[in-house]
Amino acid sequence: MGNQYLFVVPTKQWVLSVIAVFMLLCSLMVMAQTPEKNTLIAASFGDVPPPEKITRVIAAGPVADILLISIAPEKLIGISGHHTGVVYDKSKKYFSEMIRNVPSTGRIAGRGTTFPFEKLVALKPDVIIDVGNVGDTYVSTAKRANEQTGAPFVLVDGRLLESARQIREVAALLGANERGVVLANFADQVLSDAARVRQDTTKKKVRVFYGRGADGLETGLAQSIHTEAIDLVGADNVAAAAGEKISSRVSLEQLIQWKPDMIVTLDANFYETLKKGGVWGQLDAVKNKRFYLIPSVPFGWIDHPPSINRLLGVIWMQRTLYPETMSEELFHAKIQAYFKLFYGYDLSDDELKQILNPS
């Protein structure tokens, strides 16, 4: 079964041509989509206008920022700006002038609310959208924002596995069906490829530790949104043994017991620490130099924030953990296709190399 993933792609141009045809077919499928029986809209407060009447949209948090930048950038009148690459000089070039000029209005979602409701009223949004965690705190914030501003507020489940449905539903809500179909089908393809790897029982699962923060000792536990990209390609998150929380601190002693085969991180400082060895040299993953700095342009590819940018993380994790399942040429083509589809940016080969080798 494992050999079914071994293939040779003739040329990069051929791969990009196939992706271009795929995009065209997706756009022609708009009218043929079957409505979902279930919905990822976890809560909705206020009367949401029909799609054709929605022209002014505000993103309530960083996860929604990234989703809406991809689906309906022309309708955005405010993004949270929190953790989004748009506010950093190194990332601005990947976005159109239109997105660069969208004001950072502050965060509305969850406990980190920074947006004064009186300013929200003045902006007169047709709808406010939040995406991600659908816990009680986020629901209560959405309800309060609607009650105090009168603006409709929609909260969407942001699970990575449901990325395609998430894109389709939000696109339909905003009257961006054609673009939504193209993006959703790309997401379907990425997740389907990962599922085939995950379900291959002939493969030995790689034991992975995801180190967050400058010291690398914060991580996502079992079923954490921070480690979904690891789970979806069939790797073992060693920190799952510590329980089920979004994230938690762990100790080096615990890591020594867990014996990860590989360590991945978004933090350049922690990556430099691993390169030096020191006390971390007690781990086989460090001794064997199986530690990697995950790309983070224009957003973190595995979380930070945990939005649809994690599709890039799924592609990267599959190639890094199980390289025999994806040729380097196809890997590069998929990354460039994502930048083109979701950000509208033609990523050059040189830019791609810089992004993939952030160290």
| d(C-alpha 35, C-alpha 18), whole Å | 27
Q: Would you say domain 32-188 falls under CATH 3.40.50.1980? A: yes
| d(C-alpha 208, C-alpha 220), whole Å | 11
What percent of the chain stands above pLDDT 70? 86
Instruction: Examine domains 32-188 and 195-356 and report if their fold is the same.
Output: yes
Smallest CA-to-CA distance from 272 within 254, 291, 251 is with 291
**pLDDT greater than 90 at residue 230:** yes
Tokens 């933090």, residue? 267
Note the CATH number of domain 195-356: 3.40.50.1980
Most confident range (mean pLDDT) of 70-84, 163-177, 294-308 is: 163-177
Question: Which pLDDT belongs to residue 34?
Answer: 35
Smallest CA-to-CA distance from 94 within 105, 104, 81, 84 is with 84
Strand partners, 264: 210, 292
Question: Which pLDDT belongs to residue 304?
Answer: 87
Give the pLDDT mean for 177-194. 97
**pLDDT greater than 90 at residue 281:** yes
Question: Which pLDDT belongs to residue 19?
Answer: 56
- Per-residue pLDDT of 319-359, as tens digits, reads 999 999 999 999 999 999 999 999 999 999 999 999 999 76
Question: Which pLDDT belongs to residue 16?
Answer: 56
To the nearest 10 degrees (0 to 180), the angle between helices 163-174 and 62-71 is 70
- Per-residue pLDDT of 105-120, as tens digits, reads 888 877 767 778 888 8
Structure tokens at 297: 């342009």
- Domain segments of the chain: what residues? 32-188, 195-356
Chain centroid to Cα 348, Å, comes to: 21
Question: Which pLDDT belongs to residue 112?
Answer: 66
Chain centroid to Cα 34, Å, comes to: 25
| d(C-alpha 346, C-alpha 341), whole Å | 9
Question: Which pLDDT belongs to residue 209?
Answer: 98
Q: Output the CA torsion sign for 113, 119, 121, 125.
A: negative
Q: List CB contacts of 344: < 8 A, sequence separation 6 or more.
A: 95, 96
Question: Which pLDDT belongs to residue 115?
Answer: 75
**pLDDT greater than 70 at residue 146:** yes
Question: Which pLDDT belongs to residue 8?
Answer: 39
Query: If pLDDT is split at 50, 70 and 90, which confidence band does 1 have?
Result: very low
Question: Which pLDDT belongs to residue 210?
Answer: 97
Question: Which pLDDT belongs to residue 11?
Answer: 52
Question: Which pLDDT belongs to residue 33?
Answer: 37
Give the pLDDT mean for 188-210. 96
**pLDDT greater than 80 at residue 269:** yes
Q: List CB contacts of 206: < 8 A, sequence separation 6 or more.
A: 235, 236, 261, 262, 321, 322
Give the pLDDT mean for 219-245. 92
Cβ proximity of 253 and 281 under 8 Å? no
Q: List CB contacts of 81: < 8 A, sequence separation 6 or more.
A: 65, 87, 104, 105, 106, 107
The 3 state secondary structure assigned to the chain is CHHHHCCCCCCHHHHHHHHHHHHHHHHHCHHHCCCCCCCCEEEEECCCCCHHHCCCEEECCHHHHHHHHHHCHHHEEEECCCCCHHHCHHHHCCCCHHHHCCCECCCCCHHHCCCCHHHHHHHCCCEEEEEECCCHHHHHHHHHHHHHHCCCEEEEECCHHHHHHHHHHHHHHHCCHHHHHHHHHHHHHHHHHHHHHHCCCCCCCCEEEEEECCCCCEECCCCCHHHHHHHHCCCEEHHHHHCCCCCEECCHHHHHHHCCCEEEECCHHHHHHHHHCHHHHHCHHHHCCCEEECCCCCCCCCCCCCCCCHHHHHHHHHHHHCHHHCCHHHHHHHHHHHHHHHHCCCCCHHHHHHHHCCC
- Per-residue pLDDT of 44-78, as tens digits, reads 999 999 999 999 999 999 999 999 999 999 999 99
Query: If pLDDT is split at 50, 70 and 90, which confidence band does 17 have?
Result: low
| Mean of per-residue pLDDT scores for the chain | 88
Strand partners, 128: 58, 153
| d(C-alpha 19, C-alpha 10), whole Å | 14
**pLDDT greater than 50 at residue 35:** no
Cβ proximity of 213 and 270 under 8 Å? yes
Go through the chain and tell me how many residues it has.
359
Question: Which pLDDT belongs to residue 106?
Answer: 84
Question: Which pLDDT belongs to residue 13?
Answer: 61
Across 16-30, 62-76, 93-107, 193-207, least confident range: 16-30
Give the pLDDT mean for 15-27. 50
